[in-house]
Amino acid sequence: MKNTDLTALSVTDLQERIRDEKANLHKMRFNHTVSPVENPTRIRQSRREVARMMTELNARQRSNNNA
């Protein structure tokens, strides 16, 4: 997901996507520990996606507090 797509989401949608992506990341890490994942770079991509969404959410919260 691109940053422009993230800015179009509402705060609740963003929080929901973060929750879902974190759960997905947790599952992938667990599965990778038990047996090697077919595409281990997907774990890195998922982690970075969570970070992008968290950055956008924190920026929105900071801008609401300053307003």
CATH of the domain at 60: 1.10.287
Residue 41 and residue 11: Cα distance in Å, rounded? 28
pLDDT at 1: 67
Measured in degrees and rounded to the nearest 5, phi and psi for residue 37 equal -80, 145
Count of the separate structural domains present in the chain: 1
Write the pLDDT tens digit of every residue in 21-62: 999 999 999 999 898 878 889 999 999 999 999 999 999 999
Interhelix angle for 41-66 vs 11-34, to 10°?
A: 150
Q: Pick 27 or 7 by higher pLDDT.
A: 27
pLDDT at 42: 93
What is the 3 state secondary structure string of 33-59? HHCCCCCCHHHHHHHHHHHHHHHHHHH
- For 41, the domain range is 3-66
